[in-house]
Amino acid sequence: MYCIKVKSNFSAAHNLKNYRGKCEHLHGHNWVVETIFSYGSLGKEGMAVDFRIAKKLLKDVVGKLDHSYLNRLAYFKKTNPTSENIARYIYDNVKRRNKNLRSVSVWENETSCAIYTTED
């Protein structure tokens, strides 16, 4: 199995619903997003997927979140904008365009990360 990882980032504000503590108040993060794609074989050029293509795919999704108030986006009006749910949102949107996506990691700071995958 060949795996590649690409990273992107975005800055956005949010506040958590049904939560007691500092994060119930409006605040922001500079999130770092990592995606892992896996392939069983390489193309004729010796690549699983061109990094440029994988980066653009991720950036297209993350760009919709950048400099937004996440709670006001349609998806997060119904879903709490936690890092876990942000990872799921990115996963679902990237997976629609590349079936080889295996996981999305969303870092809200240097020490805290949520990962979404459908792998066991």
pLDDT tens sequence across 58-83: 999 999 999 999 999 999 999 999 99
42: exposed, middle or buried (Cβ count in 10 Å: 0-12, 13-18, 19+): exposed
Q: Which domain holds residue 93?
A: 2-117
Split at pLDDT 50, 70, 90, the class of 118 is confident
Q: Whole-model pTM?
A: 0.94
- Angle between helix axes 83-95 and 51-62 (nearest 10 degrees) is 130
What tokens does 101 get?
């996506």
Arithmetic mean of pLDDT over the chain: 95
Q: Of the residues 23, 84, 110, 113, which is catalytic?
A: 23
Q: Of the residues 14, 25, 108, 110, which is catalytic?
A: 108
pLDDT of 22 strictly over 90: no
67 is an active site residue: yes
What's the total number of domains in the chain? 1
What tokens does 79 get?
């879903």
Instruction: For the sheet with 112-117, list strands across it.
Output: 68-69, 2-14, 27-39, 101-109, 112-117
Q: Of the residues 3, 24, 27, 67, which is catalytic?
A: 67
Distances (CA, A) of 79 to 8, 63, 73, 103: 23, 19, 10, 20
Query: For the chain, what is the largest distance between any 2 Cα atoms, rounded to a whole number of angstroms?
Result: 54
Q: In this structure, what CATH number is given to the domain that contains residue 67?
A: 3.30.479.10
24 is an active site residue: no
